């Protein structure tokens, strides 16, 4: 009987040791493994989720003839430097068509990029514009806004800047959707084409359209 009691106590001690070891393992898992896993998950989520403002940083095509205000040298082109204000516009600097153009003038800007992009699906391009004149007193000139990704134009949006004799600017948006990687975002360019409207001679159609700011909101 005594021998059995000793064996029982020894077996109980072994069970206690096993339980103690398992408890330590659980403690180590909770203390180290869970936080590290959560941190990795958080970092992946941050990398996958993107929200950034992209601004013009160079001229690709520069055909709009009027350059107003002072270049602030914030980008490498003479045109983009007048429309690269981001979310805080400066309306004293702008590019314009003047009133003696033939239409179809294009200004196209390469955009700044975002970092750690795993996937992006939407770019909302904001164009701050105005028609400072209404040449024929009827149809206002329009602008074709398009996004170029890796050299390929997307589906364009047409906007019609309102006529304001004081030259007050308004914001217009064009939304582009896709499934984009870091390389796609790095390649993005915004193209804006001036379209004459109305009849008669082109010299009698050309509104003085001005653009003070262009930027894209990427998500």
As given in the structure block, the two tokens for residue 33 are 């493994």
pLDDT tens track of the chain, all 219 residues?
444 443 444 545 654 665 565 545 644 444 444 443 443 343 443 445 689 999 999 999 999 999 999 887 689 899 999 999 999 999 999 999 999 889 999 999 999 999 999 999 999 999 999 999 998 788 999 999 999 999 999 999 999 999 999 999 999 999 999 999 999 999 999 999 999 998 766 767 899 999 999 999 999
| Residue 106 contacts residue 192 (beta carbons within 8 Å) | yes
Q: Any residues with CB less than 8 A from the CB of 97 and at least 6 apart, and which?
A: 64, 65, 66, 105, 141, 194, 206, 207, 208, 209, 210
116 dihedral zone (left: phi>0; alpha: psi -120 to 50; beta) = left
Work out the burial of residue 27: count CB atoms within 10 Å of its CB; fewer than 13 is exposed, 13-18 middle, 19 or more buried: exposed
Q: What is the pTM of this model?
A: 0.77
Distance, CA of 75 to CA of 170 (rounded, Å): 23
């Amino acid at each position: 009987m005594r021998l059995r009691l000793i064996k029982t106590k020894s077996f109980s001690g072994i069970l206690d040791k096993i339980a103690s070891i398992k408890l330590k393992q659980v403690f180590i898992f909770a203390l180290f493994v869970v936080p590290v896993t959560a941190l990795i998950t958080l970092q992946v989520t941050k990398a996958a989720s993107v929200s950034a403002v992209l601004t013009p940083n160079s001229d690709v095509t520069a055909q709009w003839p009027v350059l107003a205000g002072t270049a602030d040298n914030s980008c490498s082109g003479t045109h983009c430097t007048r429309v690269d204000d981001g979310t805080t516009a400066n309306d004293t600097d702008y590019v314009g068509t003047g009133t003696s153009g033939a239409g179809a003038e294009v200004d196209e800007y390469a955009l700044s990029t975002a970092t750690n992009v795993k996937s992006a699906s939407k770019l909302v391009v904001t164009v701050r514009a105005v028609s400072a004149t209404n040449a024929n007193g009827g149809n206002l000139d329009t602008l074709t806004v398009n996004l170029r990704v890796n050299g390929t134009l997307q589906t364009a949006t047409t906007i019609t800047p309102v006529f304001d004799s004081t030259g007050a600017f308004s914001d217009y948006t064009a939304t582009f959707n896709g499934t984009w990687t870091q390389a796609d975002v790095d390649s993005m360019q915004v193209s804006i084409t001036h379209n004459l409207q109305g009849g008669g001679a082109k010299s009698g159609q050309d509104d003085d359209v001005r653009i003070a700011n262009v930027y894209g909101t990427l998500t």
